Amino acid sequence: MPLTAAAPPQPVQVFSGFDYMTVDQTRHRVFAAHSRSSRLLIVDGNAGTVTGQVDVGPMHGLAVDPETGAIFTGNGTDNTVTKVDPVGMKVLATVDVPSSIDALAYDPKARRIYADQDGGGDVYVIDATTMKRLGSISIPNGDLESVAVDPSTGRVYQNLSGGGGFAIIDGAAMRVVKTVKTPQLQRPHPLVFAATTQQVITGGVNGVISAYTPDGTHVGDTQVQPRIDQCSTGSGKLIACAGRGIITVLAPVAGAAPKLLATLDTGHAGIHTVGVDESTSDVWVVWSDDKGDWVQRLKWSP
């Protein structure tokens, strides 16, 4: 069950420095936050080529509207969230928020964007139709990392890197209903929601990936490489994680810990973020080095 390079690295106009990635699996578009360039990178996943970049601000987080294909970006220290048309390569709307933004999650039913505060303790809630801010959710921790949504219930899951756990949020009421401790994880960073198995999947810098039920019951742990930074999924069929140049692919298992499917050391130590297209088993990575900025497609073979 190998994970291999499907194509050579493709050059990206050099501005240097990437953050979160995501994939529109319906349209096979790949997106990456080209943070230091203040641009959104758009890649044609079918052709494996760079479509272009859109100037949005010093972005970090991003999320796709699966219905329309629009992409939302959290623009870091610009204190904004932006809606982008990836076909027209243009900004459609921008909303101001009170502070710097890190990760984003999108609820397709409620059409809400959840944007977590970088270095703070608030999650900002935005109406994706009007691009107006609806309010803020105060989180009992000042070091927020990855955020995810259960699309069937509208519950939001916010990782608490400094607090050793994650918060369960009632999205409709915009309030925290429970804080779940994760003592087996050191400084939890990545978090995704696997809709196929109805599990919260979160990981720590100590090389442990854990599965939880939607109400916060611990299901099981899987040992992976240490220092994983970010994980990505679609419906939860596959989960890809990255950190320090190593890519790990896992499959959620109902009622159990995730199953480790493949691990690949790319040799590019700067890779810490990843996107996955479950419909094609393509895994996408971006990185910067002394030779330039790059995007590459990998392939997981069952």
Query: DSSP readout, 269-282?
Result: TT---EEEETTTTE
- Write the DSSP assignment of 125-138 as a string of letters: EEETTTTEEEEEEE
pLDDT for the residue numbered 149 = 98
Per-residue pLDDT reduced to its tens digit, 221-272: 999 999 999 999 999 999 999 999 999 999 999 999 999 999 999 999 999 9
Nearest 5°: the CA angle 265, 268, 270 is 120
Structural domains of the chain, count: 1
pLDDT value of residue 143? 85
CA 40 to chain centre: 14
Task: Provide the pLDDT for residue 16.
Answer: 79
Token pair 């079918």 in the structure block, residue: 46
For 70, 234, 269, the CA distances from 108, given in Å and listed in that order, are 12, 13, 35
Please enumerate in sequence order all residues whose Cβ is within 8 A of that of 191, keeping only pairs 6 or more positions apart, or say none.
145, 146, 147, 148, 157, 158, 159, 166, 200, 201, 202, 203, 231
Question: For residues 132 and 42, what is the distance between their CA atoms, to the nearest angstrom?
Answer: 25
Number of H-type helices and E-type strands within the chain: 0, 29
Relative to beta strand 29-34, strand 132-138 is unpaired
The pLDDT score that the predictor gives to residue 261 is 97
Specify the pLDDT at position 275. 98
Flag residues of the chain having pLDDT under 50: none
- Looking up residue 240, the CATH number of its domain turns out to be 2.130.10.10
What's the pTM? 0.96
Per-residue confidence (pLDDT) for residue 141, from 0 to 100: 76
What lies within 8 Å, CB to CB, of 85 at 6+ separation is: 70, 91, 92
Query: Where in the sequence is the domain holding 171, given as residue range(s)?
Result: 3-300
